[in-house]
Amino acid sequence: MAGIMNGKSGRLVGVGMAVLTLGGFGCGYDRGSMTGPGSGESEGMAAPGTTTISGAEGRSQFRVFAATGDIAPTVAQFRTALGDPLNGGTPGPLGGGRREIKWDGAPAQMPGDFFNTTVKAGAIFTTDGTGFHNSDNDFADINPSYADDFNAFSAPKTFMPVGSASLTTTFRIPGSETLAATRGFGLVFSDVEREGAASIKLFDAQGRSLGRYNAPVRTDANGFSFVGVVFESSIVARVEITSGQRALGADVQDLSDGGNLDLVVMDDYLYAEPQPIP
């Protein structure tokens, strides 16, 4: 099942149905799946497929895209919302289009600035762990059971921090050190089995929350979940990503393997062309 929500940033004060159903399976969201821009962590809850109305005037309108099961149609819609062309590793500044990171050209042990210096895509990664790891065997090199737990949406590689389940993405004018913000950001997760185990939390350049958005629980054997948000203007300066409830490890088992915490990995990142922060 896939859904798109429309709204305005600020405290969410009402909802109305506006469901768009695409091919796929039932969505695993509940009312705790999204806190809207400026609403804080515990208020303004809305279910997927609803229209959220803001009490704050003059804030940027936004749309939330979420899907599980067959996520490809929703990812395609998200690309359209971000805009063409796909700018690849072309240095900026560029006036529009989007960037996509699929990890396949990155080294197994990846520097956090790889996708701004080596591949000029304007994304910087930091983590409270010890680094970043791209895997072409779904991290079976860390734990053999992971080969059956995770899948790549864009084969062959998936991505995770080392020693952490969390990371932060900030933006630059691609190929430079100029701070930037994007109009929209979305992410493919693999093997979300517990509500709230995987999410993106967005912030503007002043550090104000633009909302936390949970990825839906997986509904089929492929195990993919997608969540993304698009605003009218380039206001997303930082994204805090949670991918599972614990870091991967040789002695750490997923829920499906008898563990007590939900392990999740990541694949495609998609975001609108980073623009300079005024």
pLDDT tens for 158-201 read: 999 999 999 999 999 999 999 999 999 999 999 999 999 999 99
Helix (H, G, I), strand (E, B) or coil at 256: helix
pLDDT digits (tens, 9 = 90+) for 127-165: 999 999 999 999 999 999 999 999 999 999 999 999 999
CB 239 within 8 Å of CB 200 = yes
CA distance linking residue 225 with residue 67, whole number of Å? 6
Work out the number of other CB atoms within 10 angstroms of the CB of residue 233.
12
pLDDT above 70 for 31? no
- The DSSP call for residue 142 is T
Share of the chain above pLDDT 90, in %: 77
pLDDT digits (tens, 9 = 90+) for 57-108: 345 689 999 999 999 999 999 999 999 999 999 999 999 999 999 998 899 9
Instruction: Tell me the pTM.
Output: 0.85
